[in-house]
Amino acid sequence: METNTQTILIVFVALTGVAVLLQAFVLLAIYLSLKKTAKSVSDVSEDFKTTVLPLVHSTRELMERLSPQIITVSEGLADLTEILHKETKGVRVSVSEIMERVSRQTKRLDGMLTTGLDTVEKTAEVIETAVAKPVRQANGVFAAIKAIIETYRAPLPPRQPTYDPENDQFV
């Protein structure tokens, strides 16, 4: 039994040695991979510095050259805004006056048209009373004359025989 235990112990020590060796290889691979990645990041940062830093410097110079012009433009816009504000007030006053005048003229015109149309309506009523009533009466007289003439011109309806009970016959 003792040999069996020794064999198991030797196998266990051998497996542990192999595992430690395998772990050492894995750690070496990780180290090499990190070293390669660090070199790649270093190269990228160098490229970044060479391309971005000149861009930042040129942008700074551009801003230094443009700032006075931007200030001048903004002052001009402020002046223009003030002028437009004053002019807008003047236009509002003018439009208000024009609208008041238009309103007065509209009321005046409305009064004139109302008076004129009322006069036309009253005149039409007077004319209708003065002319239409006699015309209606004349039309009534003409209609009566026409009915009388048509009655006399129409042929007599055939007479229906009537029964005479005394003679016991139709007459």
Question: To the nearest 10°, the Cα dihedral for 99, 101, 103, 104?
Answer: 170
| Cα–Cα distance for residue pair 64/18, rounded to 1 Å | 67
Task: Determine contact, residues 44/36, Cβ cutoff 8 Å.
Answer: no
- pTM of the entire predicted model: 0.33
| Cα–Cα distance for residue pair 74/78, rounded to 1 Å | 6
Q: Where are the alpha helices (DSSP H) in the chain?
A: 2-127, 133-153
pLDDT value for 170: 72
Would you say residue 158 lies in a domain?
Answer: no
Name the DSSP letter for residue 164.
E
Would you say residue 2 lies in a domain?
Answer: no
- Type of residue at 26: V
Considering the chain, what percentage of its residues have pLDDT values greater than 90?
22
Task: Determine contact, residues 171/162, Cβ cutoff 8 Å.
Answer: yes
Would you say residue 103 lies in a domain?
Answer: yes
| Cα–Cα distance for residue pair 132/144, rounded to 1 Å | 18
Would you say residue 171 lies in a domain?
Answer: no
Owning domain of residue 120: 9-153
Length of the chain: 171
The more confident residue out of 135 and 109 is 109
Asked if the model's pLDDT at residue 45 lies above 80, the reply is yes
The distance in angstroms from the start CA to the end CA of the chain is 168
pLDDT value for 26: 97
Would you say residue 17 lies in a domain?
Answer: yes
What's the half-sphere exposure (Cβ side, CA atoms, 13 Å) at 139? 6
| Cα–Cα distance for residue pair 116/109, rounded to 1 Å | 10
Per the structure, the count of domains in the chain is 1
Q: What is the overall mean pLDDT for the chain?
A: 85
pLDDT value for 24: 96
pLDDT value for 126: 81
Which residues touch 126 (CB under 8 Å, ≥6 apart)?
A: none
Would you say residue 161 lies in a domain?
Answer: no
Would you say residue 72 lies in a domain?
Answer: yes
Considering the chain, what percentage of its residues have pLDDT values greater than 70?
98
Mean pLDDT of 67-96: 85
pLDDT band, residue 1 (cuts 50/70/90): low
Would you say residue 64 lies in a domain?
Answer: yes
Name the DSSP letter for residue 1.
-
| Cα–Cα distance for residue pair 55/58, rounded to 1 Å | 5
